[in-house]
């Protein structure tokens, strides 16, 4: 099954999408804009069409009809880049994406079950193209040529194996590109549709119109193989986007940033990877001394991800904290750190992996909103003293930090759930520690004697003790050396759950 997306208004879409998304709807309805190629009008907006400007009109004629018309020269390089952006995003549906003039072709047979059928893929494609600022006519058929021809004439047609022949036969014969130079000849013999052209003798078609037209016809109906040059994602993702107007608020930057994120998601899917850190560069307007300052936003994730909505949410949180010193004219998004990751499995019930991912996303949102210093995690440090064996660390540890800790496989004797900030001195009765009742020592002693390197020496024997009257399990110790030369005593240091 093939899906074709044809973008008939691509040059016009590129002219309008340079403006922020919030303004595009109003501009399309009120601005008379026309795309000019070879000094002739080729594409016109709805407002320009209402003013009497039509394709094929000269530049002078267009200005005569409307003094306010905006004439924009066609930028073929920008069109090719826009199609490449769309192809990069479409890679999340299938690795088999081919570029065509003003459109794309996708072979989605292996993806139908994953995405819920042809209709679901077409809906997601259409919504994605709209977010990219592109209008599309989309069709599906069993062959690439048939899908491409149908998309150029009708939108939303899904022709299966049984019906696509009748659909193609009703299409205009001029869709067969090798027949374009012979349009007058075909018109003279009354051949207007592909179905009528198919009824002509094949030998006569080759003699009059050449073999290329017959090959295209056979490819459409599966008699000839269709060879495609598949689009391949780059080795490294770093995309730049130019804004059509000076943007002075971060709210207007999010839509353009999301377009870059959509391309990155397609890149990650094609590379079977997920991003752990990415950065957004905001290129500001050139200042007085010729400098073009750049603001950098680094976004680090707690767990690898390629979820567009999640990445967009993180981007929104970070942009909300940015104060723009000057207007932004360009943006660059780059994926800095990647990890290999297969497609996620569909889960009926939450698993440990899914719950860990939810916790990681919560930490990411809190960090992006409150700042990296406001959210910390408790980590084990290489110190036997209970007061200093843990430390507050950044919530998203780096690979280097986790590899250097060397404590992942360490085992310790029993430790209390609640460790007191300051140990409480205990009285003794009959040479036994007392806390509400005499304590019975269950486990111990565990001798901890260290701290010479920072002049905070401790020398203690720790015990797990039981208060039988209140059924409390305590962590107590006996000080072997007193700091003020007093007699060593017993202290309460924590409670077990």
361 & 387 share domain: no
d(CA 229, CA 127): 26
d(CA 355, CA 342): 18
Give the residue, 473 or 371, on which the prediction is more confident. 473
Domain membership flag for residue 125: yes
pLDDT score at 486: 47
Domain membership flag for residue 348: no
> What does the pLDDT look like over 443-454, one tens digit per residue?
989 998 888 888
Which of 17-21, 288-292, 299-303 comes out lowest in average pLDDT? 288-292
Residue 346 DSSP class: P
Helix axes 202-209, 211-220, angle to 10 degrees: 130
> What does the pLDDT look like over 268-297, one tens digit per residue?
988 888 998 999 999 888 755 556 688 899
447 & 393 share domain: no
Q: For position 261, which CATH number holds?
A: 3.30.1490.100
Domain end point (choices 141, 171, 201) = 171
359 & 393 share domain: no
Q: CB under 8 Å to 158, separation ≥6 — which residues?
A: 118, 119, 122, 139, 140
pLDDT score at 99: 94
Domain membership flag for residue 194: no
- Cα Rg of the chain, angstroms: 35
Determine the Cα angle at 431 with ends 426 and 435, to 5°: 30
Length of the chain: 497
Q: CB under 8 Å to 178, separation ≥6 — which residues?
A: 209, 210, 212, 213, 216
pLDDT score at 122: 94
d(CA 334, CA 429): 68
Q: Which residues pair with 454 in a beta bridge?
A: none
Domain membership flag for residue 311: yes
Give the residue, 3 or 255, on which the prediction is more confident. 3
Which of 296-300, 313-317, 345-349 comes out lowest in average pLDDT? 345-349
Domain membership flag for residue 42: yes
Q: Which domain holds residue 336?
A: 238-343+353-369
439 & 291 share domain: no
Domain membership flag for residue 177: no
**What Cα–Cα distance (Å) separates residue 494 from each residue in 295, 438, 449, 497?**
48, 17, 18, 10
Q: Token match 């050139």: residue?
A: 286
- For 120-143, b where at least 16 C-beta lie within 10 A, e where not — what string? ebbeebbebbeebbbbbbbbbbbb
pLDDT score at 292: 61
pTM of full prediction above 0.75: no
Q: Is the pLDDT of residue 73 over 70?
A: yes
Domain end point (choices 124, 151, 171) = 171
Mean pLDDT, residues 129-133 taken together:
89
Let me know if 199 is exposed, middle or buried by CB neighbors in 10 A (0-12, 13-18, 19+): exposed
Kind of pairing, strands 472-479 and 490-495? antiparallel
Domain end point (choices 116, 143, 171) = 171
Helix axes 253-270, 118-131, angle to 10 degrees: 140
Q: Is the preceding omega at residue 445 within 30 degrees of 0, hence cis?
A: yes
Cross-sheet strand order for the sheet of 238-247: 238-247, 328-340, 273-284, 294-305
Residue 487 DSSP class: P
Q: CB under 8 Å to 80, separation ≥6 — which residues?
A: none
53 & 151 share domain: yes
247 & 146 share domain: no
Could you write out the DSSP letters of every residue in 219-264?
HHTTSS-----B----SS-EEEEEEEEEE-SGGGHHHHHHHHHHHH
258 & 110 share domain: no
- In 3D space, the residue among 237, 234, 197, 236 whose CA is nearest the CA of residue 218 turns out to be 197
Q: Token match 């540890």: residue?
A: 397
451 & 319 share domain: no
d(CA 183, CA 187): 6
φ/ψ (deg, to 5) at 176: -80, 105
327 & 453 share domain: no
Q: Is the pLDDT of residue 484 over 60?
A: no
- In 3D space, the residue among 334, 268, 267, 250 whose CA is nearest the CA of residue 298 turns out to be 334
Token readout for 66 is 């409307």
**What Cα–Cα distance (Å) separates residue 298 from each residue in 54, 255, 259, 305, 342?**
48, 18, 18, 15, 25
pLDDT band at 16; cut points 50, 70, 90: confident
426 & 401 share domain: no
- In 3D space, the residue among 82, 128, 115, 89 whose CA is nearest the CA of residue 265 turns out to be 89
- In 3D space, the residue among 225, 237, 302 whose CA is nearest the CA of residue 266 turns out to be 237
Domain membership flag for residue 26: yes
Distance of CA 422 to the CA centre of its chain: 48
Q: Which residues pair with 450 in a beta bridge?
A: 458
Q: Is the pLDDT of residue 53 over 60?
A: yes
pLDDT score at 403: 45
Q: Are 98 and 112 in contact (CB under 8 A)?
A: no
312 & 362 share domain: yes
266 & 157 share domain: no
Q: Are 47 and 28 in contact (CB under 8 A)?
A: yes
Domain membership flag for residue 218: no
φ/ψ (deg, to 5) at 296: -115, 130
Q: Are 139 and 150 in contact (CB under 8 A)?
A: yes
Number of domains in the chain: 4
Q: For position 64, which CATH number holds?
A: 3.40.1170.60
Q: Are 426 and 435 in contact (CB under 8 A)?
A: yes
């Amino acid at each position: 099954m093939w899906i074709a997306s044809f973008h008939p208004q691509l040059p016009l879409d590129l002219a309008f999408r340079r403006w922020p998304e919030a303004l595009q709807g109003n501009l399309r309805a009120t601005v008379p804009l026309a795309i000019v190629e070879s000094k002739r009008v080729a594409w016109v907006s709805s407002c320009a069409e209402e003013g009497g400007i039509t394709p094929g009109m000269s530049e002078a004629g267009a200005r005569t009809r409307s003094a306010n018309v905006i004439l924009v020269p066609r930028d073929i390089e920008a069109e090719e880049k826009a199609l490449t952006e769309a192809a990069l995003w479409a890679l999340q549906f299938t690795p088999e994406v081919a570029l065509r003039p003003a459109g794309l072709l996708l072979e989605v047979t292996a993806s139908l079950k994953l995405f819920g059928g042809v209709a679901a893929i077409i809906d997601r494609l259409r919504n994605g193209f709209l977010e990219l600022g592109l209008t599309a006519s989309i069709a599906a058929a069993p062959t690439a040529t048939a899908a491409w021809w149908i998309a150029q004439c009708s939108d939303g047609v899904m022709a299966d194996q049984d019906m696509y022949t009748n659909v193609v036969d009703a299409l205009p014969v001029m869709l067969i590109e090798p027949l374009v130079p012979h349009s007058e000849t075909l018109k003279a013999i009354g051949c207007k549709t592909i179905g009528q052209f198919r009824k002509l003798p094949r030998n006569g078609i080759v003699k009059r119109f050449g073999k290329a037209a017959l090959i295209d016809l056979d490819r459409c109906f599966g008699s000839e193989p269709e060879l495609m040059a598949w689009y391949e994602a780059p080795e490294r993702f770093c995309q730049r986007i130019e804004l059509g107007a000076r943007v002075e608020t971060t709210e207007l930057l999010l839509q353009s940033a999301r377009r870059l994120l959509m391309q990155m998601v397609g890149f990650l899917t094609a590379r079977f990877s997920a991003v752990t850190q990415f950065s957004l560069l905001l290129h500001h307007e050139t200042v007085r001394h010729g400098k073009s300052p750049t603001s950098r936003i680094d976004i680090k994730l707690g767990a690898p991800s390629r979820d567009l909505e999640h990445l967009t949410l993180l981007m929104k949180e970070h942009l909300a904290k940015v104060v723009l010193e000057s207007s932004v004219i360009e943006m660059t998004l780059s994926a800095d750190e990647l990890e290999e990751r297969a497609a996620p499995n569909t889960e009926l019930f939450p698993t440990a992996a899914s719950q860990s991912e939810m916790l990681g996303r919560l930490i990411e949102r809190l960090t992006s909103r409150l700042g990296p210093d406001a959210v910390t995690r408790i980590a084990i440090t290489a110190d036997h003293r209970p007061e200093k064996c843990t430390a507050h660390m950044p919530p998203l540890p780096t690979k280097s930090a986790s590899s250097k800790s060397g404590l992942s496989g360490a085992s310790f004797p029993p430790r209390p759930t609640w460790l007191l900030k300051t140990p409480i001195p205990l009285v003794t009765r009959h040479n036994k520690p007392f806390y509400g009742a005499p304590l019975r020592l269950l486990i111990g002693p565990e001798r901890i004697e260290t701290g010479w390197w920072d002049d905070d020496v401790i020398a203690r024997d720790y015990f797990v003790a039981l208060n039988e009257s209140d059924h409390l399990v305590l962590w107590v110790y006996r000080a072997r050396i007193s700091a003020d030369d007093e007699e060593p005593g017993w202290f309460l240091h924590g409670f077990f759950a």
